[in-house]
Amino acid sequence: MGLDTYAGARPPTDEDWKDSEDRFGLNDEDIAAFERAEAELEEEDGCVFGGNYFRGKIFNDLVRDIAGVTLYREWIPPETVAFMADAFEDCDIEQVLREQEDSGSHHEHSPATITSLACFFRLCADRHLGLVGSW
């Protein structure tokens, strides 16, 4: 089962799933902020998100290990995303990667992965956005 995780200004509605152009209530400034962050990260070490979304299935175990939150939820409120941003910013990246390797994680992650997700969650927190899960 796949999972895409989107930044959103509100929980999804039935109309969101019918209209591929809907951005879960994000405005143009929100989208521009994600695009700027993506471009900056790409110049450094790469970026795991594209615009306002990322492939949540690939990172669910990592997010759960660092922040104690599963991405397999239809809506994660902004307050929880702020907690996630803090957890990612406060984690010891090398220790997290060692623990992931020792646990036999199905996905290999890099320091840039954790940095990208920290950036994504911080953008959401600063803009008071939640996360929308689609699977």
Give me the percent of the chain exceeding a pLDDT of 90: 77
Instruction: Specify burial of residue 74 (Cβ count, 10 A radius: 0-12, 13-18, 19+).
Output: exposed
Look at residue 34 and tell me whether its pLDDT is greater than 60. Answer: yes
Residue 4 lies in a domain: no
The whole-model pTM stands at 0.93
Domain total in the chain:
1
Place of tokens 């992650």: 109
- Per-residue pLDDT tens for 42-100? 998 889 999 999 999 999 999 999 999 999 999 999 999 999 999 999 999 999 999 88
Q: Which residues have a Cβ under 8 Å from the Cβ of 124 and sit 6 or more positions away? A: 7, 78, 81, 85, 130, 131
Residue 84 lies in a domain: yes
What pLDDT sits at residue 14? 80
What pLDDT sits at residue 20? 56
CA distances for 96 relative to 2, 58, 99, 131, angstroms? 24, 16, 5, 23
Residue 8 lies in a domain: no
Residue 47, number of CB atoms within 10 A of its CB: 21
Residue-number span of the structural domain to which 113 is assigned: 27-134
Residue 3 lies in a domain: no
